[in-house]
Amino acid sequence: MASAHEIDFRIYGDDMQLVEIELDPRESVIAEAGSLLMMDDTIQMETIFGDGSKESKGLMGKLFSAGKRLITGESLFMTVFTNEGSTRKNVSFAAPYPGKIIPLDLKQYNGKIICQKDSFLCAAKGVSIGIELQRKIGAGFFGGEGFIMQKLEGDGLAFVHAGGTIVEKALSEGEMIRLDTGCLVAMTASIQYDIQFVGGIKTALFGGEGLFFTTLRGPGKVWIQSLPFSRLASRIFAAAPAVGRKEEGSILGSLGDFFDGD
């Protein structure tokens, strides 16, 4: 695999972060559609199939690479941002919801990181973004968010986004932790991953933590988020009827206005 472009970066913000990437002339960065915040005047955009990590492959190879992204729910296309000027220029990408941006130097992790399918933000051109299927029976049937994950491969910098507070844990050989499904952001390729049933009918039905949890066994490193987007979305959705009651011109809305004193 060709070497990725060597980019420099700076992360701004606290709970709503952005990453500013400094590109030398002819350097490029790839990103998901819709993540751009701003760019300097000589930065040029190009929409491509897949991630553009292998320039030599033919049309069918590009289509196959891009088509795999549909499995993860992503777009067929990615965007390449290239500095066409003669001096260093900047391009910035913003996080889609409150949380943190995690820079990952793939050289430090044997050239591969596995992450949740919606966490990838951007990467140096030359980093390959593919899919990673969890082959365990439990993960296959009950994994939900975690069954189909993305893999980032190469020797460059990649950036992933996660919700809430981020915890990094280094697991020793045989050490295991259990997570709420969806709280896993990323892990090194050496981590053993599975989904297990909570156990106990009362716990499963009344525990309030779901029927399954994720188990991770070392050795390796994992990144954990305190606020998965699915949890945030479910809370917003649950609160939506109370918010929308007064906005809709319905009978219930009028009754709500009466009892609220409006």
Enumerate the domain spans of the chain. Answer: 8-239
The structure tokens 């994992």 sit at 222
pLDDT tens string 5-38? 889 999 999 888 999 999 999 999 999 878 899 9
Query: Looking at domain 8-239, what is its CATH homologous superfamily?
Result: Mitochondrial biogenesis AIM24 (3.60.160.10)
Q: Region of 152 please: left (phi>0), alpha (psi -120 to 50) or beta.
A: beta
* pTM above threshold 0.85: no
Give backbone dihedrals phi and psi of 8, rounded to 5 degrees, phi first.
Answer: -110, 155
pLDDT tens, position by position, 57-113: 555 555 555 555 555 555 667 899 999 999 999 999 998 888 899 999 999 999 999
pLDDT digits (tens, 9 = 90+) for 138-195: 444 444 444 678 899 999 999 999 998 899 999 999 999 998 878 899 999 999 988 7
| Cα angle: 13, vertex 19, 23; to 5 degrees | 145
The amino acid occupying position 215 is T
Q: Which helix (H) or strand (E) holds 162?
A: strand 157-163
Tell me which long-range contacts 46-52 makes (C-beta under 8 A, separation of at least 24). 46/79, 46/80, 46/82, 47/77, 47/78, 47/79, 47/80, 48/77, 48/78, 48/79, 48/80, 49/76, 49/77, 49/78, 50/78, 50/129, 51/78, 51/123, 51/127, 51/128, 51/129, 52/78, 52/80, 52/125
